[in-house]
Structure 1
């Protein structure tokens, strides 16, 4: 039962951090995120005209933490979605 409670707590915390980063940046311009986080580690143009930007923590680069910040912008640099992900789903 303790393990089930721990899993439930981790899911709630994960969802809360997803909502927090999206609430912080959705609708803002990319320059706002760059001001907060510095330049992105990656920028990928998507086929639909949008761009995804990725910020990795130092621990991620060392292979300790697989989660990173992903910011999705429309064609004009306005943020549509911000999230923590490991590339397969939310963290």
Structure 2
């Protein structure tokens, strides 16, 4: 039961983190994100004129950190969605 409660708390924190990054950047110009995070590590053109930008988190002590920030923009450079993920779920 103790571990189930801990898992529930971690899920709520992860969801809150996701909502916070999306609330911070959704609808904002990409230049605001770049001002806060620096230049992206990756930029990928997607269909429909959208672009996905990736910022990788710093490595941990063991040298591995799978988490990254993903910013999706429309063709005009406005952020449509922002998330913090490891590719499988929220970080």
Structure 2 length-normalised TM: 0.92
SS in structure 2 at match of 1:48: helix
Structure 1 runs of 4+ with >4 Å offset: none
Residue correspondence of structure 1 range 21-60 to structure 2 within 5 A = 21-59=21-59
What's 2:16 paired with? 16
Alpha-carbon deviation of 1:59? 1.2
Alpha-carbon deviation of 1:5? 0.6
What's 1:65 paired with? 65
Computed over aligned residues only, the root mean square deviation of the Cα atoms, in angstroms, reads: 1.4
Partner deviation per Cα, 1:18-67 (whole Å, 9 max, x = no partner): 0000000000000000000000000000022100000012217x752211
SS in structure 1 at match of 2:40: coil
Q: Point out where structure 2 has 5 or more consecutive residues left out of the alignment.
A: none
Q: Point out where structure 1 has 5 or more consecutive residues left out of the alignment.
A: none
1:80 maps to 2:80: yes
